[in-house]
Structure 1
Amino acid sequence: MASEYTTSEYIKHHLTNATMCSTDNGIAFNKACSDAGFWAWHVDTLAWSIGLGILFLVVFRSVASKATTGVPGKMQAFVELVIEFVDDNVKSTFHGRSALIAPLALTIFVWVLLMNLMDLVPVDLIPWIAGLVGQHAFGMDPHDVYMKAVPTTDLNLTFALASGVFILILFYSIKMKGISGFAKELTMQPFGHPVFIPVNFILESVTLLARPLSLALRLFGNLYASELIFILIATIGYFQLPLHFMWAVFHILVLPLQAFIFMMLTIVYLSLACEDH
Structure 2
Amino acid sequence: MADAELTPTGYIQHHLQNLTVQVGEGGGFWTLNLDTLLTAVLMGLLMVVLFWLATRNATAGVPGKWQAFVEICLEFVDQQARDTYRGPSKLVTPIAITLFFWILLMNLIKMIPADFIAKPLELLGVHYWKPVPTADVNATLGMSISVFFLMLFFAIKSQGLGGFSKGFLTAPFGKWMMPFNLILNIVEWVSKPVSLAMRLFGNMFGGEIVFLLIWVLGGAGILGMLGGAAFGFGWMIFHLLVIPLQAFIFMMLSIVYLSLSEDAH
Counterpart code for 2:253: L
Is contact 1:162-1:215 (8 Å) kept? Answer: yes
- What is the correspondence of 1:238-249 to structure 2 with a 5 Å cutoff? 238-239=225-226, 240-249=228-237
Stretches of structure 2 lacking an aligned partner (at least 5 in a row) = 220-224
1:251 to 239, 248, 256: 239
Superposition deviation, residue 180 in structure 1: 1.4
Stretches of structure 1 lacking an aligned partner (at least 5 in a row) = 25-34, 135-141
In the alignment, which residue of structure 1 is the partner of 2:44? Answer: 53
**For 1:224 and 1:2, how far apart are their aligned partners in 2?**
21
Is contact 1:2-1:235 (8 Å) kept? Answer: no
Superposition deviation, residue 208 in structure 1: 0.7
2:214 to 213, 222, 233: 233
Is contact 2:19-2:34 (8 Å) kept? Answer: yes
Superposition deviation, residue 87 in structure 1: 0.7
1:274 aligns with 2:258: no
The count of aligned residue pairs is 257
Equivalent pairs: percent with the same residue? 46
Is contact 1:2-1:234 (8 Å) kept? Answer: no
**For 2:129 and 2:162, how far apart are their aligned partners in 1?**
48
1:265 aligns with 2:253: yes
In the alignment, which residue of structure 2 is the partner of 1:44? Answer: 35
Counterpart code for 2:238: F
Matched position secondary structure for 2:230? helix
In the alignment, which residue of structure 1 is the partner of 2:154? Answer: 172
1:202 to 168, 173, 183: 183
1:154 aligns with 2:155: no
Superposition deviation, residue 65 in structure 1: 2.4
Counterpart code for 2:187: V
Superposition deviation, residue 99 in structure 1: 1.6
**For 1:164 and 1:19, how far apart are their aligned partners in 2?**
23
Superposition deviation, residue 159 in structure 1: 0.5
Superposition deviation, residue 82 in structure 1: 0.7
1:100 aligns with 2:100: no
When normalised by structure 1's length, the TM-score is 0.89
Is contact 2:23-2:32 (8 Å) kept? Answer: no
